[in-house]
A and B are shown apart, each in its own frame.
Chain A
């Protein structure tokens, strides 16, 4: 049985606990064991990253080092976290100076980065460690006639040569999983574009305009729902459908990948925290 250490990141546990839970139950059902990382810290994405490269490297470095100390590969379910951890791992592996600096700080708590652990994003677990066939065969009640638009998340898939998750210009993992469980994956304009989330701090108006633009592109293909693989994207694509600037058109449910996958492999809504979703996806999840 494969085992990973789950790094939840700051946002999922607070803003989207259902996602965290869904990951646990779905992966368990598909034969992947998880241990949640404790005594962790923020990966430093975006904020620390922007102002001090070494500090940023140290923060992500510590997370990598903790995983090493427990001798487990890391599962990241947030785009920003997986992006940071992979990026910093790449740098620590290729920049001796930086690694020494980081290890110098880590030493005080008996931690050390040597580069033995891998960082994987949820999508990789599905493709590499579980596989589409295993998912197919796990399906007990496949979906029928539901059209779903996949949103992958920028930091999940880019830069391709560092994160190694999927084809950055033409990603397919989520779509193939949607297919595997009987849904209809729909293509839409600007599939690989950003949700706007990262700009919320600097310019909420533009950030939301970007998010709404994506929603409208998805609506244009008459999708019933949106499947995500990043907590920030999920929250952003949900919240832009509320409040000012959002039109009165019907809201499109935004569902995290495990929440969508769960019901098809026989997991009940409660264990997936479906009731916590801001735009109810039940109509979709009941379409069998």
Chain B
């Protein structure tokens, strides 16, 4: 490990972050203190370390004082560790000789009202980081190749779009669909509200193009049963649900487009007690006809009611707290269209969220066509009763302060978008986390909505959150771009902050295998006795294994026991100032 044995020459840079940090922490004082610490040859404070000016400063000082360790005391490493690692690297240092202290989230933001104590805490953290920095070691920067094939999981509108884009861009696609048909929910919908097209009109051309594209391999009635490997080199076992036959494939990237499922609202508004109470999805699946007919007796529908937010926007009800986004616009369009043949159409709502392009027009059109909109109270839901097949609904109209009742021929419930029933399986398979709405978490909710914390695995469409089909299509192309980006580069860097098993110390107890949340550890059967080994590209460096190992046979690179204990030491017994300075 060359370059890290020599005498540490540490540079400390304390960031003001505008007034985010400097407004609470006395940054000059912190830098002052740092300059006296052992091994520190330079320390200063700066307005924005992440700005170009700040980055240039680091490089200049590395050259000027020929620093071999850099500590930046600023914000959470989550955002800027990559930035500063790159900076020290550009200045000729190994990226792992950099350490970051979080003075913003961990100090200034949470101790705003007690600046003195905050400054003391800041000093402690910097002192600990400097001590650790002295112990930091070079780590190799590793790259892995990326296989030029993407596996797309889910053959709905998003999966089809992503597959086609990738194929047209010149890469191979393995498209997995668990049902026997491509097209997902959209294909089922004879009328794709809020548009004028039928689901088939939208999906047929897509399916046709996907089917005839020679770069796309389609596996229907199939599910991924095993998933291993790492970014660029995933191993997949696909099981045919009919034949139960399994087949292995190697892919470089993955796009998960497993979509959603329309919530079946049993327990809401007497759903299930009458065939004339159906969900918006079920309405969209009815075979189109001049006149909407009652499912129960096939008679024409004269009066109907839509109810919004069914199984959505319910605080405290797990998996049903989110807004399902597409329903308001879909309902407005459905109501407007059906009003032509139905004498009375009511929409019972909480808020009207016709946010999208042209959606406000659907809402206006519905009203223009005499659809009656009635807002019901937040915590006083309409009551639906079924007596001898006859539907009655009673509710309070908030805006007219009137108690109302109505006897519709059918009631349509605009129900929530929820994840498919096998979502848990999928999330384990690809190590994806899920948010409160039950859908998969993106890597970053604002700036990385399509990538996930599993490198090489993308999400798109309703797999990520409730969305309408158009939005899913945009996601799909976006996720395709991410996959192609990786494949076009051909290789990708991987983290070196991984765990390592020292074979001599391993007692083959398998504890680490069960401890690892990423199935990154397996047994090397070629050894006798078999010993554990880490697949580095899969390891997230969480350290669970190292902690679990009863024979301390596992090292966490970049968080070695030594590196951690010196921090504890630095905190408990601060080095006397005298010792500091140059």
- Please tell me whether chains A and B touch each other in their complex, using a CB distance cut-off of 8 A: no
The chain B residues found within 8 Å of chain A, CB to CB, are: none
